[in-house]
Amino acid sequence: MAVMSLLLMVWSSAALAAEVRVSQLPEDAYVVVSTRGVAASGGITWVLLNGALAMKRNEAWTVFSSRKLGAAEEPLPPGREATLTTVGWAVAGGSLSLGLGTFSGSAVRGERGWATGAQTLAGSLLGTLPGLAALRYSPLTSQWGPGMGGALAMASSVGGFTLQLGATALGTWGTGELGLSPTRNPGASLGGAFLGALVGAAIGLGVDALLQKVFPSNEALRWSFAIGLAGSGATVGYQWLGGGPRNGP
């Protein structure tokens, strides 16, 4: 208790600049920490109030707000909790499409699963930003409207879709030909990656529109899965038209 009293005295001297004085506190809103006299402060009562430290002296309360106690017991702030939930759904959707691209890409020509998985992941990541624009302004899930606003929405959708194809295909092709999975026909594999990305991205737009009826406010899940479908398609097209591993049987 002596250690607690000393710490409270030191803390109170450092927190005076952030104190707020109130006349009274609800009796069930706080937890008493110490009721013993503290040196140089006289007889006072220290309590915890929603994670903050409060002091009662001369029948008046002082709440110190410069430091929070018991933070581990407090719920996450709404913004942070929403962010963690969004990230979790995005990881779930991306993992589903990553698994699809890994296994289907490997099944086409017998390439190793970790190599096709890396290709799917690289293509999907590079196509994420333009893919988000394409999905956000997709005519299947939003209305472009008249005037300049509609024109900008249309340009964002078409431009995002086009850039997504290029970024996804080049990411998939570069990861394979320049490192993990060189094919027998590099030129054909590049064309296959573009064709596969086109098919996968188009399917992704349709899947997003269908999933919107089930998860209308969960863009993180829908969009991460749809973007991953473009990477999966690019991987399958790369392996298929590329003729399989260069050093394979």
3-state secondary structure of 60: strand
Q: Are 20 and 32 in contact (CB under 8 A)?
A: no
| pLDDT number for residue 147 | 84
Give ∠ CA 81-225-124 in degrees, rounded to 5.
Answer: 105
Instruction: Classify burial at 26, counting beta carbons within 10 Å of its beta carbon; exposed 0-12, middle 13-18, buried 19 or more.
Output: exposed
Per-residue DSSP letters for 212-225?
TTT-TT-HHHHHHH
| pLDDT number for residue 131 | 97
Residue 242: both structure tokens together: 């590329």
Instruction: Give the CA dihedral 37, 40, 41, 47, nearest 10 degrees.
Output: -60
Backbone dihedral region for residue 50 (phi beyond 0: left; psi -120 to 50: alpha; all else: beta): left
Q: How far apart are CA 227 and CA 197, in angstroms?
A: 10
Q: Are 67 and 15 in contact (CB under 8 A)?
A: yes
| pLDDT number for residue 145 | 82
| Exposure string over 60-86, b if 16+ CB within 10 A, otherwise e | ebbbbeeeebeeeeeeeeeeeeeeeee
| pLDDT number for residue 31 | 45
| Exposure string over 204-237, b if 16+ CB within 10 A, otherwise e | bbebbbebbeeeeebbbbbbbbbbbbbbbbbbbb
Q: Which residues, including other chains, have CB under 8 Å from residue 35's CB and lie 6 or more apart?
A: 45, 46
Judge if pTM exceeds 0.85: no
Q: How far apart are CA 22 and CA 220, in angstroms?
A: 44
Neighbours of 87 (CB within 10 A): 12
124, 127, 165, 223 from 169: Cα distances, Å: 9, 9, 6, 18
| pLDDT number for residue 47 | 60
Q: Which residues, including other chains, have CB under 8 Å from residue 139's CB and lie 6 or more apart?
A: 154, 157
Residue-level pLDDT, tens digit, the chain, 249 residues = 443 443 344 344 433 334 444 445 555 444 444 444 443 445 566 665 555 566 666 566 666 554 444 444 444 455 555 677 889 999 999 999 999 999 999 999 889 999 999 999 999 999 999 999 999 999 999 888 888 888 999 999 999 999 999 999 999 999 999 888 899 999 999 999 999 999 999 999 999 999 999 998 899 999 999 999 999 999 999 999 998 888 765
